[in-house]
Structure 1
Amino acid sequence: EREGGKKQKMGQKQSREKLLYQHVVNGNVGGIRTLSTQGASLEWKDKGGRTPLIVASKNSRLYDVARTLIELGANVNAFSKGHQRGTPLHYAAKAGLQETVALLLSHGANPFVKNSKHETPLDVARKNERHAVVREIEGRICYFAGQMREVFGPGFSDASAPQFSSRVIWVVIVPRSSSNPPRRPRLEFVIYPTPQDAEPRKILCLRKCKIKGPNFQQPSSALIIFDKRNKTRYKFTSVTEGDKQQLRRLYNACKGISQVTQALTQVSSEPVAPPLKLPEMASASLYTSSSPCRLSPWMTTRSNICMKSPRLHNNHCSTAESWITPNQSPPHMGSHEEPNIGSPVVQTPERFSAPLSPAPSAPPLTYDDLSSPIPGTQSEASALVVMEDDKLGSSNLCIICWEASVEGACVPCGHMPGCMSCLKEVKVKNGVCPVCRSDIDQVIKLYGV
């Protein structure tokens, strides 16, 4: 009798989960909620190894079902074991469901998980030419995204060209894996013909490249990347002649300093999900906009920021060109604010509402010899520089406003990220340390001895 009762209960439980799965297929949100409250598991898998959330994530009609399942606690990183192994994000990316992709990313879906074919969701979206999904995922993880001008001709990019010419391209710098400090992410320099293209024209692994930084004292500055694998040089300048800020942002991103300033445009006319609210201030590298941005919980603080800024820092310049080995350049933990400079604005969804023209997102690198102009050119030996871990992040300026000196510390973590006024504002608004994201109990002022 006991065994029979036990089997009956097991059968009831299994049928309840199958019924929930059927409600998912039929889009019955009410039935899903009812069965969930009765104890039905949200992780039951069908013969193909798909969970209810995976089924909902591959169908545009089931967006509300996917949102309901996530609200009820479904695993957004569940991995199917069928012939098309992958997470819900892989399935949504393949189907080109931008809304569902945004929903999953906003609730912690990891965009770096690889399926059975060793493809990330971004790879899947590119392969299936889902440009809206490509822009969505890149917008969550990129260090830089914007238009640049590529110079090609003899010795650059296309050696067969008889003379030098240029073309406007869309450049995105993205990591291949999540950032786990102190390990530096593997960054890729991705070149698209236009923002409407899903498939890259060229992908450069920055660890396999040498980067020659721009000389901002020259009127026509350029960033040169030498791909050591195929012995090819690439030359990039700003779209607008003489605009050094966009070039500076690209250069900093190549060194692992996030420069995301909402330059991404959403070229698709597909509707998007309503944006989620985030604290007005976060920490580390940049995601600047006049409207809140949405960030995935798995991302480290270096990639997360939503801020506004009172002024630009555009009067700094670099003294000389320098070779930087990307895999030796430490990440910079800092944030900077910037204003709306009245640039032409492209109509975009709220989370990607931003001007296309370049805007500074981090203060330029400072050098000890900037006190006076340096005439002439520097020797070739001085042009070779390898950035060590103690070079970046050594500024004593507040990493929030980049104006006042560091004078406050967060308790109990002990980090000293900024001035007292900024730290007090951070404590009031979101109450977490801008460096480590731990809770702030109090902010104390430090005095030099």
Structure 2
Amino acid sequence: MGQMQSKEKLMFNHVRSGNVEGIRALCLEGANLEWMDKEGNTPLILACKKSKLYDVAQTLIELGANVNAHPSAPRDATPLYHAARRGLEKTVKLLLSNGANYDCQTPLQQARYYKYTKVVRAIENHICVFSGWMREFYGPALLGVFAPQLLSRRVWVVIIPTSSIYPKPYKFELVVYASLKDAQPRVVMALRNPHLKEPEEMHPNTSVTIVDNDNKKKSLKLASSIEEGRQQLKWFCDACKGIPQPVRRPPVVVQTVLPSAPPLADYDTEAIEEGPMHYPLSGSTTPSASGGGGNKKDGGSSGQCLICMDAPSDGICVPCGHVAGCMSCLTQIKSHASECPICRANIHQVMKVYRV
């Protein structure tokens, strides 16, 4: 027993010093990756407390460390909790991509409390069923009829589940931020069977009112902030009912595409100005531009952009060859995700095609 314990203590020493090879060697010798010290730290928890130990955290996960390990108390002190509490954006993304739970939203609450904006965006982007710029109406309703633009403000809206293990009925929250620079939301509204005042027809300038069932006096009136926002309003209403959207990525900065330009490592939350990007699922079908029943799967053969659903598809992804959308949308995808929205192959270049 003493010999095993000394192995585990040696493992912690290797973690602190960033000795990746030593960690791998001890793992081959049978060291327990889930052993906890007196403070309740596993090797992975310890690695998630410092940005310089990112490579160590990555190695431990590759070796099979439990990304959701936590001591008996406090219950939510998981690796994700500690990384979010310290604003370690890169480590947070690593944990989320490897199945870290966000139960009770404790990591998100920590990131908001300590105002780690990029960590808040990373967690919400990973778990949200809707995100995008919208217009929030305020002030007297009568004045809103005559001058709606003067009584509305642009806000960033996300809808997120309150648990990584969906209960029945599903529970979601509507969160409103004054801007993407803010880590702390201005409004948080529970969406338990929300009362939605939806219009019968989704016109671009139509608004949707959400009434809080717990507090009938608390309501929000929102409209799309982009032109031709019918689809965004539909996505928003569906998300309020718990229907997730195809993709949960934030908008990205439009960049000029050059053959030699590498993809951006991250998005700049202060530079985002355009409306939200919604990417179709791989292999999803899209109605033809004429509105007929014939669905297309060939990445834009209908002549309509599969992403914004408005512009013609005039951009081709190289080297996969899919005509997947308009140049504007594909440029944004190339600069952020660098993946074809049809086959998920890496995009080396986006080229404009001319239809005859």
- Tell me if both proteins adopt one fold, taking TM over 0.5 as the criterion: yes
Deviations 1:83-134, CA, capped at 9 Å, x for gaps: 695100000111111111111111111112x4xxxx5211111111111111
Identify the residue that residue 182 of structure 2 maps to in structure 1. 197
Q: Which runs of 5+ in 2 are unaligned?
A: 254-263, 267-276, 293-305, 308-323, 344-356
Identify the residue that residue 215 of structure 1 maps to in structure 2. 200
DSSP-derived class of the 1:185 partner: coil
Identify the residue that residue 42 of structure 1 maps to in structure 2. 33
Superposition pairs of residues 62-101 of structure 1, within 5 angstroms: 62-81=53-72, 86-101=77-92
Deviations 1:344-397, CA, capped at 9 Å, x for gaps: 66589744989xxxxxx9xxxxxxxxxxxxxxxxxxxxxxxxxxxxxxxxxxxx
Identify the residue that residue 209 of structure 2 maps to in structure 1. 224
Structure 2 CA distance for partners of 1:60 and 1:104, relative to 1, 3 Å: same
Q: Taking CA–CA contacts closer than 8 Å with sequence separation of 6 or more, which of the two structures ends up with the larger relative contact order?
A: 1
Output the CA distance in 2 between the equivalents of 1:106 and 1:98.
12
Output the CA distance in 2 between the equivalents of 1:123 and 1:310.
37
RMSD of Structure 2 on Structure 1 (CA): 3.6
1:52 to 43, 59, 69: 43
Identify the residue that residue 151 of structure 1 maps to in structure 2. 137
DSSP-derived class of the 2:192 partner: helix
Q: CA deviation at 1:240?
A: 2.6
Identify the residue that residue 121 of structure 1 maps to in structure 2. 107
Identify the residue that residue 230 of structure 2 maps to in structure 1. 244
Output the CA distance in 2 between the equivalents of 1:240 and 1:191.
17
Q: CA deviation at 1:253?
A: 1.0
Identify the residue that residue 14 of structure 2 maps to in structure 1. 23
The answer (yes or no) to whether the contact 2:207–2:222 under 8 Å persists in 1 is yes
Deviations 1:287-330, CA, capped at 9 Å, x for gaps: 736xxxxxxxxxxxxxxx545666567969xxxxxxxxxxxxxx
Give, as a single letter, the amino acid of the residue that structure 2 aligns with 1:188. E
Structure 2 CA distance for partners of 1:214 and 1:30, relative to 1, 3 Å: same
DSSP-derived class of the 1:236 partner: strand
Deviations 1:186-240, CA, capped at 9 Å, x for gaps: 0111101112221111011111741111332656311111224151332111113
Structure 2 CA distance for partners of 1:348 and 1:142, relative to 1, 3 Å: farther
The answer (yes or no) to whether the contact 1:224–1:233 under 8 Å persists in 2 is yes
How many residue pairs get matched?
Answer: 290
Deviations 1:44-93, CA, capped at 9 Å, x for gaps: 21111111100101110001100111111111111034669510000011
Output the CA distance in 2 between the equivalents of 1:80 and 1:143.
30
The answer (yes or no) to whether the contact 2:204–2:229 under 8 Å persists in 1 is no
Structure 2 CA distance for partners of 1:173 and 1:66, relative to 1, 3 Å: same
Superposition pairs of residues 234-383 of structure 1, within 5 angstroms: 234-265=220-251, 288=279, 305-306=281-282, 338=307, 339-343=324-328, 350-351=336-337
Q: CA deviation at 1:248?
A: 1.3
The runs of at least 4 aligned residues of structure 1 exceeding 2 Å deviation read 80-85, 178-181, 214-220, 240-243, 260-263, 286-289, 305-316, 337-354
Output the CA distance in 2 between the equivalents of 1:259 and 1:145.
9
Output the CA distance in 2 between the equivalents of 1:241 and 1:187.
27
2:95 to 92, 104, 122: 104
Give, as a single letter, the amino acid of the residue that structure 2 aligns with 1:246. Q
The answer (yes or no) to whether the contact 1:48–1:81 under 8 Å persists in 2 is no
Identify the residue that residue 127 of structure 2 maps to in structure 1. 141
Deviations 1:232-289, CA, capped at 9 Å, x for gaps: 332111113542111111111111111243551469xx956xxxxxxxxxxxxx9736
DSSP-derived class of the 2:242 partner: coil
Structure 2 CA distance for partners of 1:50 and 1:263, relative to 1, 3 Å: closer
Give, as a single letter, the amino acid of the residue that structure 2 aligns with 1:137. I
Identify the residue that residue 274 of structure 2 maps to in structure 1. none
